[in-house]
Chain A
Amino acid sequence: MIKRLSAYIIPASLRRLPLSAVAAMLLVLVPFTVGAQDIFSEDTVNINAVTVTARAAARVTPYTVVEIDPDLISRRKGDDMATLLQSSSLLYVKRYGNHGLASVSVRGLSGSHTLVTWNGMPVNAPGNGYSDFTVIPVVAASSVQITSGGSDLNDLSGYLGGKVELSSKPLFGSGTEASMSLSAGSYGDYGSSAVLTPGGTNLSVRAGGWANKSRNDFLFINRDAPGGEALMRRTNAAFSSGGFTGDIFYRTDYSRISMHVWFSDTERELPGPVTTVQQDFNERQTDRSFRGVVNYSLEHGRLTADVTAGGQCEFNRYYHMVTSYNGDNSSSSAIIRAKVALRVTQNTSLEFRAGDSYEKAVTLSYDGAEIRNLISFSVAGRSNPLPRLNLLLQARQTAVTGMKVSPEFTAGASWLMTPGGEHLLKASLSRNSRLPCLNDLYWIPGGNPDLVPENAAGGEVSWSFLRVWPSGSRGNFDLTLHGSHVNNLIQWVPGQSGLWQAENVRDVNIAGAEARVGRDLSIRNWILRGVFNYSFARSVVAATEVANDRSPGRQLIYAPLHHANLNLGATGKWFRTGLTAAWESRRYTTSDNSEWLPGSLMTDAFAGADFRTGAAGWRAEIAVNNLPGLATESVRNYPMPLRTFKIKLTLTWSEKKKKDETRD
């Protein structure tokens, strides 16, 4: 039996660590949250007002919306988005080794069930429906917001699993700021990035660029080597990436316009799997993409309106030592969407959304270019019939080339249980769908034009506690229970010929729980911050059309039952340090759950010092990734590095700081 039991990889003492960590965190954090007494800050209570903070708006949304802590984004600025999400969200990151292809999934479904948007435009590849989070650097977005489940019908089409929204936020009135970072790490890892944010009261500009390069020939342990366990060096795994983003925001009294561009160019070698021997077929891949978005929003009296238009093109080349295996893929898409919201009464508003999406993909495995056009219309009613009660009712209808899509609905409510808003209950029910991607429909061989959309029906219930102390420190605890049933799940299964083909073959039941605990504390000159996330997602096959299938009742492959992460940080006057631990339970690799990857624990730590002289400042950091040096895999036979180190220097210049100092 080639089961990779956790005992086989992780020493017994370390296997107990995740549970100990969970218990310790709950003991430390929960008493703070339930025992503290203070008032609730006004800006987060005032939910009926026009100006609601993004965090407060997300909290009262009837389904789960979470914004990644900006401090964690700042801490991970030299990393890719996959690393950030793995360590600070409840998304599961499936990664083909260090710098390998990485997809993220939510609540037990696959990466193709996660919609990824950048400033409102979907960036999933039209061909396979995935987004590769390795080629998205953290520096490309200043805000990351995650919606769990498929209840949000604000986009043009559904996704069932969840949504990751990457966006750039304006910094009006912050003055000009600039920063430049240089880093060097283990195995020839070098990185650089620069961000310039000139801006005034009504104009905000953000221009950023990055260049990263890594030899990536890290050490790993091959336990299946023909001669017995061996320490080996990864080959053919080099990675390089470069790109830039640009954002311009301009506002008037009633409106705002913004323009965004993003260019990315990545080249990486693709190391083969380690299957007794390390394979090397000289595979490599290049990904080049260009994206642009324009957004105009208007808010006047009872009316708000928003129009977003954007386009992207992507080029993907794949090279193999056998040239006949080479791949040449390209895709492009364009969207235009508009929203009009009218406050009908003081407590009720109506929202109308409409949009069109055009997708085109070309690969050597299509019979020419494949094109899909999608038109979508949705209407939503929002109401506060009672001061602390929010109701939402939304419906969406999509029309798409060559396919029928059923109407989608979401109904939800959130209720601030206490006048201060500390306790919140919310619930939602939804029926939503996801379209097959173009590869599912048209790939030769195996693409199936007769596929129907996947459908999900389900709901969630949440209790949220949030307290803000006069000192500004915060504590929160959120608990969510969710459940859904997915029909017509699309999977690639073999036919009589042995060739794989896409079919609507299985139904899936998903049930789970999520918990989030956070606490900020100020003690003398120190700010202490702790965030703990945990999710349980049972995602099992409920019905199947595969003959003699033993998967019913079994967990979907690469969908961990448990996922938890912990972020601890301490910031002093000039010193900062932090620790991140992300744990995933076993991930099954076969549909009958007869084989699995053991649970994995990734623990990273960093320490840094900040110094400032007038407008200029610099920060020095050292980071250790995989602190215990454990052998881990996210995808079978694609190992991650043992312990690695990285040092980073950041130079900053701030016009505001200069003015403050002059004033002093």
Chain B
Amino acid sequence: MKHVIKTLVLIALALQISCEPAENPSLFPRGEGIFLLNEGNFNAGNGSVSFYSTETRQIYNDLFSAENKRALGDIPSFMAVDGNRGFIVVNNSGTVEAVDLLTMESLGTVTGLSSPRQMVIDGNNGYVSSLTEDEITVIDLEKTEKSGKLEIGSASEAMVITGGRLFSAHWSGGNSIVVTDLGSGDVVRSVTVGLEPESMALDKNGRLWVLCTGGWMGEEIPRIVRINMVTLEKEAEFFFRTVDDNPSSLTLNEARDTLFYLDEGVRRMPVTADEMPAVAFIPAGNRLFYKLLIGSDGKIYVTDAIDYQQKGDLLIYNREGELLDSEQAGIIPGFMIQRVD
């Protein structure tokens, strides 16, 4: 009888040991890489997060839903980063998801936002632009909740904070950059640029570059406008070829001395240039380039949304424009941001 009991105890112990949960393996590696937001289909709620590791040269998809066992939402359009926390703006769900960038675990959700588009961070405050409201929502990053508003008098898209001032682009139907003093919360200036300023970048000389699409109906020739941040005046304008051009995704390299943007491929232009490049540095060919990021190592990351109804591709080029890698991402791969170790 004793042997039987001993045997049962041993079996039970063995089972206990074998049933102990293994440490939850990470869904994606630590180290340098690119976070990629896949917008998903409009109204389908199937937006997702991918991570491309520049070390393993692999892409890891569907991270948010795998970690949190629920969907991220409809059209994740932007992510702002504050240390190891990311704040994912989910446009058509009207939410901002705070996530741990090492695990993609949800740290909290800000709900009830009206068509949020992008977010910039200053201290403990996050500023969220809106496609539909004439105000910018202020979020307390620690509490992950709305803490205030900035009345700016127009809808907003891309934003830049510098010198205690918030520059917000009035994109949808607009043609201005609204300058708001973050101390007082007052609008101090509105700078007229071209129609529908879509993206902005601040160069190493402290000048703000604004890409204006010319309107989604092709109302005017698109242009890139350079703004002097001291005088808050336009100091240069670079016009594209015709109203049928569709440039987008203006960004800068790590040194902030060269502009990159999408226009029938990837084009680049030194901030000191007097004219725009005549040809694409990386031609799109039959690809449908959607979003663009320049990595700190000079690599060029471009997304291809294919037909917008299936999983798209992440394309990685070296600084010479040679294709290094191609990975299948999620549906409508869009905004990208780099994680530097």
Residues of chain A touching chain B, judged by Cβ–Cβ distance below 8 Å, are 1-2, 223-226, 228, 272-277, 279, 322, 444-445, 493-494, 496-500, 546-551, 557, 589-592, 594-595, 636-637
Nearest A residue to B247 by beta-carbon distance?
A497
Minimal beta-carbon separation of B330 from chain A (angstroms): 9
Is residue B41 contacting chain A, with contact meaning CB distance below 8 A?
Answer: yes
Stretch from B16-24, B89-97, B117-125, B178-186 contacting the other chain: B89-97
- Assess whether B71 is in contact with A224, with CB atoms less than 8 Å apart: yes
Given A496-B264, A590-B41, check contact A277 B306 (CB 8 Å). no
- Assess whether B65 is in contact with A2, with CB atoms less than 8 Å apart: yes
Chain B residue numbers with a CB within 8 Å of A226 are: 70, 95, 106, 109, 111
Given A226-B70, A637-B43, check contact A497 B310 (CB 8 Å). no
Minimal beta-carbon separation of B229 from chain A (angstroms): 30
Residues of chain B touching chain A, judged by Cβ–Cβ distance below 8 Å, are 40-41, 43-46, 48, 61-62, 65-66, 70-74, 90, 92-95, 106, 109, 111, 132, 216-217, 246, 248, 264, 284-288, 290, 304-311, 313, 331
- Assess whether B45 is in contact with A275, with CB atoms less than 8 Å apart: yes
- Assess whether B48 is in contact with A275, with CB atoms less than 8 Å apart: no
Cβ-neighbour of B70 out of A228, A546, A636 (below 8 A): A228
Cβ-neighbour of A499 out of B44, B70, B216, B310 (below 8 A): B216
Chain B residue numbers with a CB within 8 Å of A322 are: 132
12 additional contacts, CB 8 Å, given A275-B45, A277-B93? A2-B46, A223-B70, A224-B45, A226-B109, A273-B74, A279-B93, A549-B306, A557-B309, A590-B41, A592-B311, A594-B331, A595-B331
- Assess whether A276 is in contact with B331, with CB atoms less than 8 Å apart: no
Chain B residue numbers with a CB within 8 Å of A496 are: 246, 264, 284, 288
**Complex formed: what's the CA distance from A2 to B331 in Å?**
11
**Complex formed: what's the CA distance from A73 to B238 in Å?**
67
Chain B residue numbers with a CB within 8 Å of A223 are: 70
Minimal beta-carbon separation of B269 from chain A (angstroms): 19
Chain A residue numbers with a CB within 8 Å of B132 are: 322
- Assess whether B306 is in contact with A547, with CB atoms less than 8 Å apart: yes
Chain A residue numbers with a CB within 8 Å of B48 are: 1-2
**Complex formed: what's the CA distance from A500 to B307 in Å?**
9
Nearest B residue to A496 by beta-carbon distance?
B246
**Residue among B61, B95, B106, B309 with most chain A CB within 10 A:** B309
**Complex formed: what's the CA distance from A224 to B93 in Å?**
11
**Complex formed: what's the CA distance from A594 to B48 in Å?**
13
- Assess whether B70 is in contact with A594, with CB atoms less than 8 Å apart: no
- Assess whether A276 is in contact with B46, with CB atoms less than 8 Å apart: no
Given A1-B61, A494-B288, check contact A592 B310 (CB 8 Å). yes
Chain A residue numbers with a CB within 8 Å of B308 are: 493-494, 500
**Complex formed: what's the CA distance from A557 to B41 in Å?**
13
Chain A residue numbers with a CB within 8 Å of B111 are: 226, 277
> Which 10 A-B residue pairs are closest in the complex by CB-CB distance?
A275-B45, A592-B310, A275-B74, A547-B286, A497-B246, A224-B71, A276-B73, A591-B309, A226-B109, A1-B62
Chain A residue numbers with a CB within 8 Å of B93 are: 275-277, 279
- Assess whether A1 is in contact with B44, with CB atoms less than 8 Å apart: no
**Complex formed: what's the CA distance from A493 to B309 in Å?**
9
Nearest A residue to B75 by beta-carbon distance?
A275
Main DSSP-derived SS at the B contact region: loop
Minimal beta-carbon separation of B53 from chain A (angstroms): 19
Pairs across A and B, CB under 8 Å, 27 listed:
A1-B61, A2-B40, A225-B70, A226-B111, A273-B45, A275-B92, A276-B93, A277-B93, A277-B95, A277-B111, A279-B93, A444-B217, A445-B217, A493-B308, A494-B307, A496-B284, A500-B308, A547-B285, A547-B287, A548-B287, A548-B304, A551-B307, A551-B310, A589-B46, A590-B309, A592-B309, A595-B46
Minimal beta-carbon separation of B175 from chain A (angstroms): 16
**Complex formed: what's the CA distance from A551 to B307 in Å?**
10
Minimal beta-carbon separation of B195 from chain A (angstroms): 14
Chain A residue numbers with a CB within 8 Å of B94 are: 277, 279
Chain B residue numbers with a CB within 8 Å of A589 are: 41, 44, 46
- Assess whether B307 is in contact with A2, with CB atoms less than 8 Å apart: no
- Assess whether B71 is in contact with A549, with CB atoms less than 8 Å apart: no
Nearest A residue to B97 by beta-carbon distance?
A226
- Assess whether B70 is in contact with A275, with CB atoms less than 8 Å apart: no
Given A497-B246, A548-B313, A590-B310, check contact A276 B45 (CB 8 Å). yes
Nearest A residue to B216 by beta-carbon distance?
A499
Nearest A residue to B61 by beta-carbon distance?
A1
Chain B residue numbers with a CB within 8 Å of A228 are: 70
Chain B residue numbers with a CB within 8 Å of A2 are: 40, 45-46, 48, 62, 65, 71
**Complex formed: what's the CA distance from A272 to B311 in Å?**
24
**Complex formed: what's the CA distance from A547 to B315 in Å?**
15
Chain A residue numbers with a CB within 8 Å of B62 are: 1-2
Cβ-neighbour of A276 out of B41, B71, B304 (below 8 A): B71
- Assess whether A275 is in contact with B109, with CB atoms less than 8 Å apart: no
**Residue among A497, A551, A636 with most chain B CB within 10 A:** A497
Chain B residue numbers with a CB within 8 Å of A279 are: 74, 92-94
**Complex formed: what's the CA distance from A223 to B68 in Å?**
12
Nearest A residue to B42 by beta-carbon distance?
A273
- Assess whether B306 is in contact with A550, with CB atoms less than 8 Å apart: yes
**Complex formed: what's the CA distance from A388 to B288 in Å?**
59
**Complex formed: what's the CA distance from A549 to B40 in Å?**
17
**Complex formed: what's the CA distance from A373 to B54 in Å?**
59
Minimal beta-carbon separation of A437 from chain B (angstroms): 20
Chain A residue numbers with a CB within 8 Å of B309 are: 557, 590-592
**Complex formed: what's the CA distance from A276 to B308 in Å?**
21
Nearest A residue to B332 by beta-carbon distance?
A494
Minimal beta-carbon separation of A403 from chain B (angstroms): 25
- Assess whether B72 is in contact with A276, with CB atoms less than 8 Å apart: yes
Nearest A residue to B245 by beta-carbon distance?
A497
Chain B residue numbers with a CB within 8 Å of A498 are: 246, 248, 290
Chain A residue numbers with a CB within 8 Å of B304 are: 548
Minimal beta-carbon separation of B11 from chain A (angstroms): 30
Nearest B residue to A551 by beta-carbon distance?
B310
Minimal beta-carbon separation of A657 from chain B (angstroms): 52
- Assess whether B71 is in contact with A275, with CB atoms less than 8 Å apart: yes
**Complex formed: what's the CA distance from A595 to B305 in Å?**
16
- Assess whether A594 is in contact with B217, with CB atoms less than 8 Å apart: no
Given A225-B70, A273-B74, A494-B305, check contact A548 B286 (CB 8 Å). yes
Given A273-B43, A279-B92, A496-B246, check contact A594 B216 (CB 8 Å). no
Minimal beta-carbon separation of B71 from chain A (angstroms): 4
- Assess whether B306 is in contact with A548, with CB atoms less than 8 Å apart: yes
**Complex formed: what's the CA distance from A335 to B130 in Å?**
48
Minimal beta-carbon separation of A656 from chain B (angstroms): 53
**Complex formed: what's the CA distance from A274 to B331 in Å?**
18
- Assess whether B74 is in contact with A1, with CB atoms less than 8 Å apart: no
**Complex formed: what's the CA distance from A637 to B92 in Å?**
13
**Residue among A225, A275, A546, A589 with most chain B CB within 10 A:** A275
Given A276-B71, A496-B264, A636-B44, check contact A594 B311 (CB 8 Å). yes
**Complex formed: what's the CA distance from A444 to B41 in Å?**
21
Nearest B residue to A505 by beta-carbon distance?
B307
Chain A residue numbers with a CB within 8 Å of B65 are: 1-2
